[in-house]
Amino acid sequence: MGLRQDSSFSNDALVSDSQKRFSIAIVGGGLGGLSLAIGLVQRGIPVQVYEGATDWTDAGAGLVFAKNSMAAMKKISPDIYNAFAKRSSGQGWESKKTTYMDYRDGRADGELVTSVICANTGQESVHRTLFAKDLVALLPEGTFQMGKRLVGIDDRPDGGYTLRFADGESTDADVVVGSDGIKSKCRQVLLGEDCPEAIPKFAKEFAYRGMVPMERAVAVLGEEFARNSMVNIGPSCLTTTYPVEKGTLLNLVACCSIGKWAHEDWMVPSSQEAVRKDFAGCGPVMQKVISMMDKPAMWALFDHPDCSTFYKARFALIGDAAHASTPHQGAGCGQAFEDAHVMCSLLADEYVDSPERVEDAFAAYDAIRRPRTLKVVNTSRENGEICMMRGESTGDDLCKIKATLDQRFHWIWHEDLDQQVQQARTKLREASEARCSRQTTKDLQNLQLEHSN
């Protein structure tokens, strides 16, 4: 099923009559960084995006989104949502259009445990790389550069930053936003390379990933299982499948729990024999899913469950650089769009008229976004445990698993994004008043000093 395009702007998404008096460097050209860049450009704020990769890859190609994510896209810019709508795939059957995921017992023949409903939107999925390319096309020419791998950031005397890249080049910016993914160099710089929070944490899971033509998936799984989004839960493992690219492809993910990751690299080649061994105790549907993993590789799953701050001065983190998550709630990337929405709204605020006031905007962003996003990270880990039948309060009891799944996503989906922005702006105003008060006190002290002399 396709989505209708959107032509409406939110109130804060109007193009500014005059540009802001500061420049912003966004490090990382994933979906979060690109959506932020589009939103800032359309609000009259100069921006440059520096992506470390030299070429596009299809790693982790499929992404799922629900109501909150799509609402955030619209609020940043209708252009982002329209690019998404052109590519997105919903459930293949009309009868499942409001279903987020069908959860099935993977130990047997895939009997239904529960259909999790997200009214009005259901679930939409997209091919990550192709969507990212579409977003780049929305940026002014020269705004996006690839092959710019960050190696360091230096403070400048004026409060800005100098970014150094692996190719030997450097650039200056008044403001830096780190959107460079789970292995973020920006996170290491902001928190300190020796800070334990700077390093991703192994989630004690790994995944096999794949993508196959829908015709093949239908032949292997049948119409219902191939054309609609499914999670098959099993003992210490699960499979997730959903259509992408207007239903022409099926994205495959097969996760297993493991106590320790013994490899230096996060991705290591595997074999069909190894995959079959990992899923030996599972039923026929899960066996059919893993049979389509033609060139299997093991991908270690890491996340960022803790972070004491998302900003420092005029330097902030968004997306996976701030709060990388496991995939078990389908909510990680959606949080990056929420980040971009709140940050765009704050930086476009009339109060933020100089580089010095960006710090107040970032403080407000941190106060509003950090608690919610870190809750998403930690509940995603928890949902992985539940769907691998290892949940502390659910175990392998399907009735308890159903009761948990039926209600655990609502707080993510039904978030009031306008309220987030309103709360952030209130904190921005409070910071403005405090700054003015400090300046007034300083001016009076200077005046008294002059008179005393």
Q: Which residues are marked as active site? A: 209
Residues 6+ apart with CB under 8 A from 416: none
- The gap between the terminal CA atoms of the chain, to the nearest Å, is 77
Separation in Å, CA 193 to CA 177, 245, 270: 18, 39, 32
Torsion, CA 245, CA 252, CA 65, CA 180, rounded to 10: -100
Element (H, E) at 345: helix 332-347
Buried b (16+ CB within 10 A) or exposed e, 378-396: ebbbbbbbbbbbebeebee
Q: What are phi and psi of 124, to 5 degrees?
A: -125, 145
Q: Could you give the CA distance from residue 66 to residue 78 in angstroms, rounded to a whole number?
A: 17
Output phi, psi for 421, to 5 deg: -65, -40
Looking only at the bridges linking them, the beta strands covering 111-117 and 99-105 are antiparallel
What is the rounded CA–CA span in Å between residue 148 and residue 27?
A: 9
For strands 175-178 and 24-27, give the pairing.
Answer: parallel
Q: How far is CA 405 from CA 14, 409, 434, in A?
A: 39, 7, 44
312 beta partners: 315
**CA-closest candidate to residue 80, choices 143, 126, 146, 27:** 126
DSSP secondary structure letters along 259-279: S----SSSEEE--HHHHHHHT
d(CA 222, CA 211): 16
